Structure 1
């Protein structure tokens, strides 16, 4: 199981890297849009996996592995600190609210979708 989680995490981390590069090319690097989008997608998909009540094998390989490697709390936290260091307190508040409330809402939407379609 650990190997599945590890391989999945590698796939997720590569996906995060590619997604970050692509989003930054489109939107620039002035505001952490890439991390926000990545974490939102991860919340939605993990909620969906939970609602679908997938097997333990899929939960570990996709949930813990791929989505664990794809999403990133540490980058989110670092970006909050960097925005605060730049004294962009409105951006800090907006990023915190969008990330936490948006992530929880999307996890709930994914969960309910999974329950309905599972």
Structure 2
């Protein structure tokens, strides 16, 4: 059997690769709004993490899906880097909407995921 740390690492690798490819694809079509890819990634990750947290997963599956996959998929560091860049380039409206959407939608989406996880899993 695989150790939990190995499952977390495998999930994180897959999540990070997915984030990388999604971001590149998004920026290909909307290069001026690449930060929106991070917003979509983080919000979808909040929803998924809520679902995985509520589902009756074994510790190993949660290590792989919740900690690993969602941890690799979402990115707090890129969010803050992009927010800092928006402030530095004086895009204060963009900063405000990005900040508010991330935090005002992230928690409700996690709660929705939790509800869905309890309802369907």
Normalised by the size of structure 2, how large is the TM-score? Answer: 0.93
| Contact persistence 2:42–2:102 (CA under 8 A) | yes
Query: Cα 1:117–1:81, aligned 2, differ >3 Å: closer, same or farther?
Result: same
Structure 2 regions of 5+ residues with no counterpart?
none
User: Aligned to 1:29, what secondary structure does the other structure show?
Assistant: helix
Query: Cα 1:117–1:30, aligned 2, differ >3 Å: closer, same or farther?
Result: closer
Normalised by the size of structure 1, how large is the TM-score? Answer: 0.95
> Per-residue deviation at 1:31?
5.0
Which aligned pairs between 1:12-51 and structure 2 lie closer than 5 A?
A: 12-51=15-54
Q: Is 1:111 aligned to residue 114 of structure 2?
A: yes
Which aligned pairs between 1:78-89 and structure 2 lie closer than 5 A?
A: 78-89=81-92
| Contact persistence 2:26–2:34 (CA under 8 A) | no
Counterpart in the other structure of 1:59: 62
The total of aligned residue pairs comes to 118
CA distance in 1, matches of 2:44, 2:24: 16
Extract structure 1 runs of 4+ deviating beyond 6 A.
Answer: none
Structure 1 regions of 5+ residues with no counterpart?
none
